[in-house]
Amino acid sequence: MPTSALAFAEMASDTGFMLSRIQFAANISFHILFPTINIALCWILVFFKLKFNQTGDDAWLRVYRFWVRIFALTFAIGVVSGITMSFQFGTNWPGYMETVGNIAGPLLGYEVMTAFFLEASFLSIMLFGMDRVSNRVHTLATLLVAIGTSLSAFWILALDSWMQTPAGFEMIDGVAHVTSWYEVIFNPSMPYRLMHMVLASGLTAAFLIAGISAYRLLKGDQKSSVKYALNFAVLLGAVLIPLQIFVGDLHGLNTFKHQPAKVAAMEGVWQTNSGVPLLLFALPDENARVNHFELKVPNLASIILTHEVNGEIKGLNEFVDEHPPVAPVFFSFRIMIGIGLLMFALSWLASFKFVYKKQYPNWLLKATVAMTFSGWLATLAGWYVTEIGRQPYLVTGVLKTRDAATTIAPENIAMSLTLYLVIYAFLLIAYIRTLFVMANRAVNLEAINPSMVHMAEQNAQAAEQATTPSTKGVHV
């Protein structure tokens, strides 16, 4: 083959490889937004329903009915985007299934059999059966959907964790074969990643509920159901964020042990050293293999990762050609931490105002609205750290990303990528707009069976709606 033709083929291969990576990144970035809400939201719906069953307060039922609609919308988009993403294993990454299909295939199948079928079977009862089945059956259906959603997360995170820290297999003729399903599923990083993701989902759902509820209060919707939802959400956020910090630390220690190159990129450490500072900010230069404009806290990285002032951290120079791109991992990690700190401050301040002041100032409600989708941003940043930090491997130490890529012409990938981006942008804008339209029309959407509401309460609600909210704040 002539040199020019060979160079053109290599360039086309590189282009196709990068386009495939961008396409899968766009797909997973869009898809993960919706399970991140619903993993926790379904359990929150169980709580709302149980509170109604326990107290008989119809305000809790109104909270349930409003948020179950959002759950349904989120579930639908998550399922559709998940199906298109799975097709890419065959179209864009054929080497993945050829090499580790004996492990990935069954785990994905377990998710369908144990989780998706359970969700699909009882979702219709949960959404449409409130007036058609007994309250006990409806509550059970809600619980089973929540269990199904959690099982789905379990199997997907088991597979992703195995790709990060593979165990329980052997390679025969270049193909992975299972030697222990227990070790495959409960691989070294799986428990930490599962806990971290579940808590991230809880925070995402909590801030979504808080933001939408605060928006409704600012619009003058003074019903008890709105205040119940807001109070619950801010308290949930205040409880979960310290737990997430603790679990995140454990997850980081696990990553430090099993994926030191990823941690070196997260911390911007080039040279193996002791007493490593924590970089609050820097500009990593991968060509010169140094950082510029460092703002650092002495020894703190070593203290966090080794629990010793002079603990040693391996630098990126120990992993030449075997470490991830530094800048995306470095900055994504700091974005995740920064948003987490904002969530901590807002949830604890709002909880203080609720518990001790019984009032939310308008400025705090507006700040809460601004943080409505903060969980999305933190989760995306965290997943970029996780997935980019695994590079150059698709399965750590087993399969490099480039070796799994397709040979499809770059033009075809570019066409499908463009369609994905256009459709996903439209769906994302439509989804966010729909949430606020639903909030604006909440009075009509929350209408429930008159037999379940006392006439006196209906009159009280009408009076509450006519009340103009205070310009200083909202009493809870």
Let me know if 287 is exposed, middle or buried by CB neighbors in 10 A (0-12, 13-18, 19+): exposed
Half-sphere exposure of 15 (CA within 13 A, CB side): 13
CB 76 within 8 A of CB 238: no
Q: State the pLDDT at residue 447.
A: 42
Ordered alpha helix ranges (H), 322-465: 326-352, 362-370, 374-388, 401-404, 410-440, 442-445, 455-465
The predicted pLDDT at position 474 comes to: 59
Structure tokens at 116: 């998706």
Please give the helix or strand (H or E) that residue 22 lies within, else none. Answer: helix 3-55
CB 90 within 8 A of CB 106: no
Q: Which pLDDT value is given to residue 2?
A: 55
Please report the pLDDT score of residue 469 as a whole number: 44
d(CA 154, CA 193): 10
> What is the pTM (predicted TM-score) of this model?
0.88
Please list the rounded mean pLDDT of every run of 10 residues in the chain (476 residues).
48 75 89 92 94 89 92 89 79 87 89 79 86 89 91 92 94 92 94 95 95 90 86 94 94 92 92 91 90 91 89 89 91 94 94 83 91 94 93 90 84 88 92 91 53 38 44 56
Per-residue confidence (pLDDT) for residue 462, from 0 to 100: 40
Angle of CA points 392, 37, 247, to nearest 5°: 60
Task: State residue 274 phi and psi, 5-degree precision.
Answer: -110, 155
CA neighbours closer than 13 Å in the CB half-sphere of residue 118: 19
324: left (phi over 0), alpha (psi -120 to 50) or beta: beta
Token look-up 């509170």 returns 51
pLDDT at 327 (0 to 100): 92
